[in-house]
Structure 1
Amino acid sequence: MYFNMKLILLLFIIFAPMTALSGNDNSSEDLFMVLTSGDAETQMMAMVLATQSANQDVAVRVLLCSEAGELAIRGVESPEFAPANRSPKQLLNGLIDRGVNVEVCGIFLPNREYTEEDLTDGIGVAAPPEVAEYMRREGVRYFTF
């Protein structure tokens, strides 16, 4: 009996720190969200998830490509959705106000009639080499919508 107690105590001492280290602390992970869909409901869900992640102190980065790049254009609006009665554009602007890095794909502007002056304040143009390097980083979780 005494031996069993010592063994249990020894195992606890060995494995307790490992359990603490392997806990659910995802604070070092970044969320990289690439949004390409022109569907407003899909855009809304992506913005809701990005906002909720930011609320949980996750570093969020958003890349808008293809039809979703229209969200980046000043004056372009999107429909509101229940239950919050907010739009993808409103949530995107909220993310920008919080300091989230939001960019359009490097090929978005050159293939449309827009220029950088048409972008909403706080939205930049992504540099493909830098985005590729960012995607390779350990701890970056990559989601596409």
Structure 2
Amino acid sequence: MKKALVALAIALGSTAVLADKPAVTVVLNAQSPMTQGMAMVLANQMQEQGAQVDILLCDQAGDLALKGAGGEALKPNNVTPAQLLDGALKKGATASVCALYLPNSGKQAEDLKEGIKPAKPADMGAALLEPNRKVIGF
């Protein structure tokens, strides 16, 4: 019985920690490499400061989600926005492309990096309406 109570307490404690993690959605649709880079730098910084970051890529920013995405390396760290996105994903961020990206870009779901999927409008709308979620657009 004690073991079951301890396990329950640990499970509830870890759930409480996750619930306290601030939720942030970064909506990125800018074409500019500097704007894309700044959005990804800030997404990474928010993660390092304890936030759960979800990234929605729309319009030409959706190209960052493609396998083999390149782009212009930005100073001072000489990394591309796509590399910054990869770093955020490795640290636990989620990313999706907006529902309009694939059908209007001529790309397919299999062209996307592993773990990135098309967003479902109903799910995204519900997430954006969460009372404690911050939504930041670039």
Superposition TM-score, scaled by structure 1 size: 0.79
- On the 8 A contact 1:35/1:43 being kept in 2, the answer is yes
- On the 8 A contact 2:21/2:50 being kept in 1, the answer is no
- Asked if residue 29 in structure 1 is aligned to residue 22 in structure 2, the reply is yes
Which structure 1 residue ranges, 5 or more long, are not aligned? 1-26
Larger radius of gyration: 1
- Asked if residue 131 in structure 1 is aligned to residue 124 in structure 2, the reply is yes
- Asked if residue 116 in structure 1 is aligned to residue 109 in structure 2, the reply is yes
Give the letter aligned to residue 144 of structure 1. Answer: G
The Cα RMSD (Å) is 1.0
| Percent of matched pairs sharing the same residue | 35
The worse-fitting range, judged by mean Cα deviation, of 71-80 and 100-109 is: 71-80
- TM-superposed CA distance for 1:76, in Å, is 2.4
Q: Deviations over 1:2-37 (max 9, x none)?
A: xxxxxxxxxxxxxxxxxxxxxxxxx54211100000
Alignment partner, residue 10 of structure 2? none
Q: Runs (4+) of structure 1 moved beyond 6 Å?
A: none
- On the 8 A contact 1:28/1:139 being kept in 2, the answer is no
- Asked if residue 66 in structure 1 is aligned to residue 59 in structure 2, the reply is yes
- Asked if residue 141 in structure 1 is aligned to residue 138 in structure 2, the reply is no
Length, aligned pairs only = 119
Superposition TM-score, scaled by structure 2 size: 0.83
Which structure 2 residue ranges, 5 or more long, are not aligned? 1-19
CA distance in 2, matches of 1:58, 1:28: 6
